[in-house]
Structure 1
């Protein structure tokens, strides 16, 4: 059996999952975060199978930069776990022929436990715990992760029991707004960059932060704040085409990917069009409330060639705009090059 403290931790995790309801994305994020202290892991991930690929849908610690990453199912320990349905333990990635050694070295990963996640009798993914240290885990850790995987599997069942497609949808979309979630946003950005490296067409990445949500919540209550988040989501979606991606990244933060875009792309016009769409006051239950957002723009390939650099640039520009807003200055989230 797992250690007594581990059992108590798993019970606490289960209680927290119950409070999340049918929010599968939130459940997976909670589980990977809590896996780290549960068994002393340096990283954790939930990977779900999608056709012949494994997709990182929730990550923590050592695996944090892998969110949205796709790997061939037949070329990883996680894929082997899904195919066999067995719990797999890699004591040292340096001498285990089942793992992708180069990928492990890139992450700094030496040992890992991989446990299957079952849904309706099928292995649909894995819960993986990782360590930078060889042979980090013991039998109690393996059993604890097995129990935790059962908790995740139950969440998969209850989130998807009414609809055959609900499992994928719940794993990739925000429960409140119906927009893509952070994992799916980053996955779509990876895919867009891979496409544009071939055809050389540009793309635009936006980070958007609502202004004044805390004031709405504190002054008028969370029902008004939730209505503002939903309305912001609706207005951002109205600015997007079928080929674009709109996501709620968490709290009051949103993201957009415009892909493809025409060359040359006028970033200022794009940002101002979105600002105009947002600017109308929110009408809710007979009252009106102001809506505004700070927007940062990064353009591929001019501002970066990879996911991290584009998101960091857009995020930095968004916070610069937010500081200007707080200082009472109206400003669009135009790229630094265009100013």
Structure 2
């Protein structure tokens, strides 16, 4: 009667533990600890242990009683009863560790064990470890203990997958949190300004480089519309359209690189290079921009571009720049037919000036010539130095030769005075061409050049003007 009552009480505890296991949201270590504590109590063992397979080893993962001090112990599977239990997938019993060749006798002495029973633990049909009870006495367990172990092992195995998954979920969540923290730290201290906004333009991220670049602190910027912070006032009304465009881009994650104009909190304009990432996060679009100031680079590029298109001595457009201007003017002429005249000029006797007075004086002559002719021009006229002592003037809105000749005579008149500080006089030969709709830019320039040589044939030290005649 007493035995039946004890068996009934043991069964009730097993059922109670099974229920706890089925409902528990514990991490794996706490989960296994519940099992070994209950098992030790039910079998009155020295201790209970959960061993899990780790390659060629069996590892004590959770333990109770005096065995708990050995958590982390690693035993070779090949030399242990636990390893044999896993490989055979059967319950194994050892009544005396000193005489049973299947056990690791040295390990048993280390933990003070003489007898044990172990049952395999299955996860998705595969043995992944054992549940084991141990006694410091030989023959320390009976059939009831074996049944108890078997029932507890089955309960643990049935819930092990759930708890392993729960433990894996916690591990992944911890990794994600650590990864997010690392990313936040990297972005916070990045050299680039890193700014995130939602699809309404509200700032959700503003790192330290953003504070340095734009002058707004993170606390000031967060929650405000990006247009109020860094978008130039002239563009703020159209920024809604830009967001709409970004929203369309956000239908799929994408990346775009742009050079944009921005302003800091003091209204200073900045050229920034922006790498924009558009991401769909849980159905919500987020835009993250990585920005760095390229104002100095843009200034240098503008300087280089000006150098590439300008004559270094006179500051006038060079041949390359002038041909671009000429092509554009011809396009306008073909569309509007307002008239177009081209004056090709060559300094008379320039070689003699160079040879007699030196190149420095020759350079001063070229600069003074450019200055005086430029002073004769209207705002929409263009003067350029083609090279050497050859210059051109493009006059838009001039339809007839007589009007072009008026400009040419004005240029001749301005050369009446000598070079400042010297007695050197300047004179020029000017060839004029009025644009013919059939001509292209190269032909138009050649016609004016031909007229200039015609003028030069009739000139000595005096200025001369000639017109191109087909």
Structure 2 length as normaliser, TM-score? 0.35
Higher relative contact order (CA 8 A, sep 6+): 1
Larger Rg: 2
